[in-house]
Structure 1
Amino acid sequence: MASVGKKKFQTPHTYLIIFGIVILSWLLTMVVPAGKYSTEVLNYEGKNGETQSRVVLKENSFRYMYPVKEEVLKKELSELLSQDDLLLRLEVDRTGLADLLNKSDDITIDELASVGLEESELYDLYGNSIYDTSQKLHKTAKIWGTQDHNGFGFLNYVFEGLVTGDRYGSAVGIVALLLVVGGAFGIIMRTGAIDAGIYAFVSSAKGMEHLALPVIFFLFSFAGATFGASEQVIPFVMVIAPFCVALGYDSITAVTITFAASQIGNACSWMSPFSIAIAQGIAGLPALSGAGFRIIMWFVITSLSCAFMMRYAKKIHQNPQLSPSYHSDAFFRGNADLDKEKERPFLLGHKIILIELLLGLVWIVYGVMAADFSIPELASQFFVIGLIAGITALGCRLDGLTANDLAIAFKDGVSDLAPTAVVVGMAKGILLVLGGSDAGSFSTLNTILYSVGRLLSGIPSIFGAWFMYIFQSFFNLIVTSNSGQAALTMPIMAPLADIIGVSRQVAVLAFQLGSGFVDAFTPVSASLVGCLAAARIDWSNWAKFQVKMQGFLFLLGTVFIVIAIAIGYQ
């Protein structure tokens, strides 16, 4: 009787991971008391000389949520009623406050807020004297409920998370951006222009072996940096793997110059709507800001990574048997039809669409850097680029496309990114379970941040930022969705950056470097596994090479984080 083999471990879906975190977060609120900070508005000069403002934490203003000492509070408020100037300055409803003092029930902080007397103002006036500091209170959500019906319950985290925010940030604005961008790229991919361009280059590269690998590497790195190429790389690996083996290299080289290159580009991106735009939106930064530094970083890291890859490729070219994938590459070496690839025409319409796409990307960079375009403008730009590509495809009669075909392509593109959009809302729900991300409201999250801040207090800001980078790298071993990781971690990392004294731009930088590089290594990445399957490589063989490259990339990431802090990157 044949023995039944053990079932292979299956990595939980991102939705399951988030649901598990929601449950743990809810239980955590029962253990960790709620806390808050006082905040103030800081005015500063923008890049065009205009006055801008930002809400920041007041130093040493953290306190826990305590029960109110009713007798002390009523005594202080009674005295406050006689101070007309102070009531006027605080904009307190004198009549409403008097009515609260006359009622027989206890006065709550929420009732005081309704007459214009916020908790932060009470703390500024009386400190902890109005609180019973012997008992720290918890802020735990109900099991079920809505904001409008009996209060928020953690089982409603998906809906409540999706409807938070506004058109400029998390979660509503980012969800809308993802759906529009997905539809636009659905149209662009349906025209076949990107496929035809890549295949045309691969075909013409034969005879230029010394140039083919670095050019392909830079192309895919640019694709990762601009539109977050990931699973889109899989079909190209199917062509480039036999191409590389035919040139005397190996399939590991093929996956490196395609998928690994795209993730390096993604890690250094200055404009990806799926990673940096989401992270910056959650961190309260202008969408795609700080692009100049990131463009330089992308070029430097891509160049050095390409050199690292070429060193490996040269060694394999001299002795193919040194390759960890040497035996599996026998499939490609034994293929008698390597040089008889299917003809893929690169038509005039394809070329026009690629030129339009390039001009569109330049337009986006200009809008972000020079015109202060934000999420609404960015979504519209991508839509226009997709629309023009579709019109061009119809005019040039590419592949017999019809207007209905393009509409379906837009729908399919939206469908492809709808799961990612839901992740943004679900992850936002985690924050709601933890009490919200508002530093000026009592929440378990604020207490966690305060505790981590105290743990990191006194250490140089460089080490604090490095800790963020390490955390994001390890976190990406489990959650490989860049948008999902941004939604999960940036609400914690952004305010933590304020506490340890580094800019939020540096916190976003640590996120994107950690989440991007490790995507090319982690075995739970569906896109990586798909590319390895297309190249017939076992992950263990891939890891033998990639672990060395990951060490090299981690070193480069550390260097750029140090540089960012040294120059005061904002």
Structure 2
Amino acid sequence: MSFKKKNGQAPAKKDFTKLKTPHTYAIIFFVVIVCWLLTYLIPAGKFSTHTIEYTDADGGTATRTVLMADTFRYYYNLNTDFVAGALEEISQDQAVMEEWEVDPEALAALMETDSSAWTQEDLDAVGISDDEMYSRYGEEFYDTSKKLHKTAGVWGTEDFGGFGFMNYVFEGLVTGDRSGSAVGLCALILVIGGSFGIIMKTGAIDAGIYAFIRKTKGLERLAIPLFFILFSLGGATFGMAEECIPFAMIMVPFVIALGYDSIVAVTVTYVASQVGNAVSWMSPFSVAVAQGIAGVPVLSGATFRLTMWVVVTLASAAFLMVYAERVRKNPQHSVVYAGDAYFRDRMVSVTDEEREFNLGHKLILLEMLAVLIWIVWGVTQKGFYIPEIASQFFVMGFVAGVIAIIFKLNGMTINGMASAFQGGVADIAGTAMVVGMAKGILLVLGGSDADVYSTLNTILYVIGNALEGIPSFIGAWFMYIFQSLFNLVVTSNSGQAALTMPIMAPLADLVGVSRQIAVLAYQLGAGFVDAFTPVSASLIGVLGVARIDWGTWAKFQIKMQAFFFLMGTIFIAIAVAMNFQ
């Protein structure tokens, strides 16, 4: 088949490389719509949960609430006739009443009402939970004739009409608390943005970059693989993720000044940390938690994982250098060349006087180094997290501003400090908004709690069942694929472990591979895909710093994800072949 020429000329071909990338906000909204439609197609389900104890990475005893894989049930209405008889029985069993902490008067009042209208909310009000009824009666107390869906309305709030998907931005932003996503992480991003607004105003980072370039002429290319290895080590040892956001604020202008682009800067910081996390032998937030839940000795298999870390880190750094050198030789080939103009123009506009690396600049950079060391020490040794990290970065920005006032850097004043902080917050506010939006995706699917009816729990259960009875390598490989796909929605490493390992660990026994391989499939999937998924608050934070839309980032990262997936598949195959224990 051939196409006819018009006026003797071949039809013009469309250049798909110039198609406009959708805005990150638009991409997330589209994902929200898709997830909302899924809730109409897939009925909701839940698991019962229990608390397990395991030995943590420090040798102490830790606890974790995990689901019980054999307790999954779909969302049903109550079999009210059966429930009426069950409540009569329960009301006469004093031991059960005390164990379940049932309110006798409330129960008696409920039993006086029309049982045909009872719902689980009525039982909850008297102290009888769904899990307690299921543990005693199984599915008998449900009307199993119809599986129910849990679908959000179009508009609504928790107080008026229930959560509506069009409210995903606000609901996502206010999810969590000061120590987690999204509230805590949004606040951390804003504080870091303000602090670095002050630091950038001092000119210390720009002056330091020019001083480094002058003194290391010809050695610039060594900096990229070296930093990649260092950030990978951070991910492998203490689960570095959110901590990459402030580092990116330093690395982006630095890497661009070396002749590369902001994609290289994000890869050498955040992606490197997630590579380390994916192949970690000791991360307390991923491999240690997963091993504890799976019943595998914590930090066992370290020799295999340490070898894997060396191989994967060096291979990933080499992959990056191929791209980085192509950009360095012809910067205009970069897909973010236009966006990086912000950083290039700022460097070009720096005067010779501002490029001078004086004592004030040196003191600010030394103070920044001291605070960053303090943060790493606090995270690894004292368990510092979002509130403590935010406090330390605020101190770093404030002290840098004071030093700038003393040494009269860039005409810094008290009002100038305040304006610079405000400008830094404004620059990063859009990123904080994306963090809340991404969290809204999970809310539309019903949340990530195993003991709450949701579409996500049903997806987890169905895929787990589908992997039973297949060949060992195929089973292990599909576990890896499943964990990778699951990470597109749930990006918390410990949260993903709590949701998936209670199912994947016994499934490994059925498939014929060790539970250690099930843990390996989890950590590879959870780590690598964190560098790609738009739901990752940390990734979106780093991209915001670099002024890269997620769609633009995805065009580059999808190739690296294919490379990661190939390496992950190879190591899964090796682990199965050697019966990794």
Q: TM bucket by the smaller chain? A: 0.7 to 0.9
Contact 1:161 1:171 in 2 (8 A): yes
Change (3 A) 1:468 1:346: farther
Change (3 A) 1:278 1:37: same
Paired position in structure 1 for 2:103 = 93
Change (3 A) 1:553 1:200: farther
Structure 1 residue 440 corresponds to structure 2 residue 467? no
Hey, what's the Cα distance between the residues in 2 that align with 1:277 and 1:181? 25
Q: Which amino acid aligns with 2:272?
A: G
Report how far residue 119 of structure 1 moved. 0.4
Paired position in structure 2 for 1:84 = 94
1:183-217 Cα shifts (integer Å, max 9, x gaps) = 222222222222222221112223xx3x4321354
Hey, what's the Cα distance between the residues in 2 that align with 1:296 and 1:150? 54
Q: Which amino acid aligns with 1:173?
A: G
Contact 2:225 2:318 in 1 (8 A): no
Q: 1:463 aligns with which of 469, 474, 477?
A: 477
Contact 2:460 2:500 in 1 (8 A): yes
Summarize the alignment of residues 501-512 of structure 1 with structure 2, pairs less than 5 Å apart.
501=505, 507=522, 510-512=525-527
Structure 1 residue 388 corresponds to structure 2 residue 399? yes
Report how far residue 457 of structure 1 moved. 4.5
Report how far residue 453 of structure 1 moved. 2.1
Report how far residue 122 of structure 1 moved. 0.4
Paired position in structure 2 for 1:40 = 50
Structure 1 residue 67 corresponds to structure 2 residue 77? yes
User: Helix, strand or coil for the counterpart of 1:103?
Assistant: coil
Report how far residue 55 of structure 1 moved. 0.8
Report how far residue 13 of structure 1 moved. 1.4
Contact 1:268 1:297 in 2 (8 A): no
Change (3 A) 1:560 1:356: farther
Contact 1:205 1:212 in 2 (8 A): yes
Unaligned ranges ≥5, structure 1: 242-250, 271-275, 317-322, 330-340, 476-484, 520-524, 532-537
Report how far residue 553 of structure 1 moved. 5.5
Structure 1 residue 500 corresponds to structure 2 residue 500? no
User: Helix, strand or coil for the counterpart of 2:433?
Assistant: helix
Q: 1:265 aligns with which of 268, 272, 294?
A: 272
Q: Which amino acid aligns with 1:366?
A: W
Paired position in structure 1 for 2:7 = none
Report how far residue 447 of structure 1 moved. 0.8
Change (3 A) 1:178 1:455: farther
Q: Which amino acid aligns with 1:67?
A: N
Summarize the alignment of residues 185-204 of structure 1 with structure 2, pairs less than 5 Å apart.
185-204=196-215
Contact 1:144 1:154 in 2 (8 A): yes
Paired position in structure 2 for 1:534 = none
Paired position in structure 1 for 2:184 = 173
Change (3 A) 1:259 1:310: same
Report how far residue 111 of structure 1 moved. 0.5
Change (3 A) 1:422 1:398: same
Structure 1 residue 240 corresponds to structure 2 residue 247? no
Give TM-score scaled by structure 2 length.
Answer: 0.71
Report how far residue 27 of structure 1 moved. 2.0
Give TM-score scaled by structure 1 length.
Answer: 0.72
Q: Which amino acid aligns with 2:27?
A: I
Give the total of aligned pairs: 497
Hey, what's the Cα distance between the residues in 1 that align with 2:381 and 2:579? 21
Paired position in structure 2 for 1:480 = none
1:26-66 Cα shifts (integer Å, max 9, x gaps) = 22222211110000112345556665422111131100011
Hey, what's the Cα distance between the residues in 2 that align with 1:300 and 1:393? 44
User: Helix, strand or coil for the counterpart of 1:179?
Assistant: helix
Report how far residue 143 of structure 1 moved. 2.0
Hey, what's the Cα distance between the residues in 2 that align with 1:9 and 1:157? 28
Report how far residue 87 of structure 1 moved. 0.8
Paired position in structure 2 for 1:205 = 216
Contact 1:214 1:257 in 2 (8 A): no
Hey, what's the Cα distance between the residues in 1 that align with 2:567 and 2:454? 37
Hey, what's the Cα distance between the residues in 1 that align with 2:223 and 2:270? 16
Paired position in structure 2 for 1:479 = none
Contact 1:40 1:56 in 2 (8 A): yes
Paired position in structure 2 for 1:513 = 528
User: Helix, strand or coil for the counterpart of 1:139?
Assistant: coil
Paired position in structure 2 for 1:359 = 370
Report how far residue 147 of structure 1 moved. 0.8
Aligned CA RMSD, in angstroms, stands at 4.8
Change (3 A) 1:259 1:43: closer
Hey, what's the Cα distance between the residues in 2 that align with 1:328 and 1:167? 42
Paired position in structure 1 for 2:155 = 144
Summarize the alignment of residues 295-310 of structure 1 with structure 2, pairs less than 5 Å apart.
none
Hey, what's the Cα distance between the residues in 1 that align with 2:548 and 2:167? 34
Unaligned ranges ≥5, structure 2: 1-11, 235-242, 278-282, 293-298, 335-349, 506-514, 535-542
Contact 1:67 1:131 in 2 (8 A): yes
Hey, what's the Cα distance between the residues in 2 that align with 1:139 and 1:54? 27
